[in-house]
Structure 1
Amino acid sequence: MPETNIRIDQPVKLYRNPKSGHCHRVELMLALLDLPYETIDLDMANGAHKATNYLKISPLGQVPAIEDSGVSLCDSNAIITYLAERYGNASDWVGRSPIEKAQIQRWLSIAAGEIAYGPCSARLVTVFGVNLDHEEAKAKAYTLFKVMNEHLAKRDWLVSDRPTLADIAGYSYIAHAPEGGVSLNPYPNIRTWLVRIESLPKFIGMARSPELA
């Protein structure tokens, strides 16, 4: 059952691209909260994300987006924050003290910055054929991973003694970094952290591209 007393009358609608780590970030949060949801895969190659009806939900034509009992919301970090606040034991996920909240926000910023421009961008090149500087993206990923691996040397989770939004926001693109040509072999602490997330009750993974992994 969800970590909430709020009655959920209908599933949350998740508009997504199933190969997107941003979308998986939201699906993982939905799964961990044990919320009912339905996925709506957009045919982005044929412009479904630019359709008038979808732009009413996501004005920039981006995925993911959700509809939840009259609430429309886009941006993966905004969505997981909303889900945790509305349906979860919020303080567990978003922070129990000012310093925890600040540290979680820092990792959400890293997810939107260093992760997006590092392992995410590297994977955009190999999985989606996006014209980006692959070597630069890989270099940024390795710089980040060195810092993260050291950070995780004496801790189980990125911020606290429990999983928080920091871990959820970081997981998807780091777990799938090898698909972008970024090896996780030199980073044992990161690999242990990934396994720890994958061991959480209700965890759901994102489909891998076997030919790229």
Structure 2
Amino acid sequence: MIRLHDFELSGSCYEIRLLLNMLSVPYEKVNVDLVNQQQESPTYLDLNPFGEQPILEDGSLRLRNAEAILTYVARKYDKFGTWYPSDADGAARIHQWLATASGDLMHLARATSVKVFHLPANLGHLLALSHRVLRFLDGHLENRKWLELGRPTIADVACFPHIALCEEAGVFDLKEYRNVSEWVERFKTVPGFVRMYAVSSVS
């Protein structure tokens, strides 16, 4: 069985749980306490020297990096090939958004961490960067229901958590980004969707 080293309030871990649940893939969850820096323990660093989450183990395979894990899970466990396409054009379109999820959208994740965990950072600067990427995303979704290919893919799975959780934590209101807001609500209707619990109650 798959083993997922997981922190409940991590958006990067959440996206893996989302895809596993949407594909009905059973897994064992190993909780890692990021608040108390368990990821810096020697035991954890033996699993991932970068001290990052998530980590996924599937038999003898061990993977780090959420986007790499999403790609692996989709390719191996999606028997219909809908979440991650096999053609070069489709795969490249998806990977653009995986890069966005691990790049520009991390400004939203950091803003959420400042709000929820009171981490030291310039929240105003993070919000300015967040609104910049949201404006781009809102324009991209003007005539689309999904990020690419006209259907939910791992691009949507990767981008959803940081946007939805930032709003849930009270960092900003998505109402000014109508297309993004509608996409968030649409994503919640995908079969197998699961919520992340108690994000707003932590702050």
TM-score tier, shorter chain, comes to over 0.9
1:42 shift after superposition:
1.2
Ranges in structure 2 where 5+ consecutive residues have no aligned partner: none
1:99 aligns with 2:97: no
1:212 shift after superposition:
7.5
1:52 aligns with 2:50: no
Range 24-33 or range 42-51, more displaced: 42-51
Within 5 A, what are the aligned runs for 1:198-209? 198-209=188-199
1:34 aligns with 2:34: no
Alignment equivalent of 1:159, drawn from 132, 139, 148: 148
Quote the Cα distance in structure 2 between the aligned partners of 1:97 and 1:46: 43
User: For 1:33-91, what per-residue CA distance to the aligned partner results, in whole angstroms no more than 9, with x for missing partners?
Assistant: 10111222112344421223322221211111111112111111111111011111374
8 Å CA contact 1:177–1:184 kept in 2: the answer is no
In structure 2, give the amino acid aligned to 1:115: L
Quote the Cα distance in structure 1 between the aligned partners of 2:80 and 2:128: 35
8 Å CA contact 2:116–2:200 kept in 1: the answer is no
Ranges in structure 1 where 5+ consecutive residues have no aligned partner: 1-9
Alignment equivalent of 2:173, drawn from 166, 177, 183: 183
Quote the Cα distance in structure 2 between the aligned partners of 1:143 and 1:163: 24
CA 1:140/1:76 → structure 2, altered by over 3 Å: closer, same or farther? Answer: same
Quote the Cα distance in structure 2 between the aligned partners of 1:45 and 1:190: 30
- The alignment yields a C-alpha RMSD, in angstroms, of 1.8
8 Å CA contact 2:170–2:200 kept in 1: the answer is no
In structure 1, give the amino acid aligned to 2:13: C
8 Å CA contact 1:152–1:189 kept in 2: the answer is yes
Percent identical residues: 30
1:7 matched residue in structure 2: none
Quote the Cα distance in structure 2 between the aligned partners of 1:212 and 1:65: 24
Alignment equivalent of 1:108, drawn from 77, 98, 102: 98
In structure 2, give the amino acid aligned to 1:173: H
8 Å CA contact 2:53–2:64 kept in 1: the answer is yes
TM-score (norm 2): 0.92
TM-score (norm 1): 0.88
Consecutive aligned runs of 4 or more in structure 1 exceeding 4 Å deviation: none
Quote the Cα distance in structure 2 between the aligned partners of 1:49 and 1:147: 33
User: For 1:118-145, what per-residue CA distance to the aligned partner results, in whole angstroms no more than 9, with x for missing partners?
Assistant: 2111101111222221111111111111
SS of structure 1 residue aligned to 2:63: strand
Quote the Cα distance in structure 2 between the aligned partners of 1:68 and 1:170: 24
In structure 2, give the amino acid aligned to 1:177: C
* Alignment size in residue pairs: 202
2:112 matched residue in structure 1: 123
SS of structure 2 residue aligned to 1:153: coil
1:23 aligns with 2:13: yes
